[in-house]
Amino acid sequence: MCTAGQLVHTLPEGEPVGGVTLLAGEIYLLRRKERDQVEVYDVITYRLHRRLTVLNCREFTDMTSCEHNLCVYIGDPFVECVHRLDVHGAVTRWTVNDIPFGLSVNAAHNVIVTCHTVRRIKEFNTHGDLLREFMVPSDDINPWHAIQSRSGQLVVCHGGLDDLVHRVCMMSDDCRHIVHSHGGQPGSDTGRYDVPSHLAVDDNECLFVADVNNRRVTLLTSTLEYVRQVVSCNQLKWLPCRMCLDTEQRLLFVAENGCEDGEWAIGGVSVFSV
């Protein structure tokens, strides 16, 4: 917890990356293309094992995994659903009824879906049954990703290009109030963000925040106090959009994408020892 992250490996460059996650000793990487969207790599050797196709899917927003249910979940904004892909390649899907943006899995093995356009966070079980949903406070415009701590509190990152506030917030149990926050007006100084888009959490509930336009990853304590930049802009080639953390090996997988003419054009994953 006292040193900056060190780059240890990079996965192959290719189509833009929509998500990265770990499951059953393998790395699942989501590419934005029509077929073979999911690339599966060995977590030790980083060798490509296989490619999997999610049919009738043109675009993705995020991907997460569940070791308990041995599956990955993929957000689909076009048909407003989540695809459930098991380790054997079987795919099912269930409806969200809003655009799913950020995905995470909580301690109860349920899926936390952040629907940024309507400022709602929804919790589903693995079969797609809606368990509960929250509306985030009105000043949390454009919530991108939410995770749930072991104590049950939701942590949300929010702030789009034209928004006045870019920060990470810890919510009360009913999501009506902000208990802790980090950030404020957009900027590049310490304690500021420019589109904080994705979160990862370690066993101590310390938080990693992907700060897209500042091209860095910030580390916060469990009460959202600043620790340091764990990945700096000179360690990244493009914009960090998605992350996942191997808590046992202390490896942070950062998906980064590059733009061309205002569109994502290329992507890859950098692996950092943290």
Please spell the DSSP secondary structure of 110-171, one letter per residue. Answer: PEEEEEGGGTEEEEE-TT--EEEEEEPPTT--SEEEEEE-TTS-EEEEE--TT-S-EEEEEE
What domains appear along the chain, each with residue ranges and CATH number?
Answer: 6-273 (2.120.10.30)
Q: Pick out the chain residues at pLDDT < 50.
A: 1-2
Tell me the pLDDT tens digit for each residue of 213-259.
999 999 999 999 999 999 999 999 999 999 999 999 999 999 999 98
Tell me the pLDDT tens digit for each residue of 260-272.
888 888 999 999 9
Spatial separation of the C-alpha atoms in residues 100 and 237, rounded to whole Å: 27
The SS3 call for residue 176 is: coil
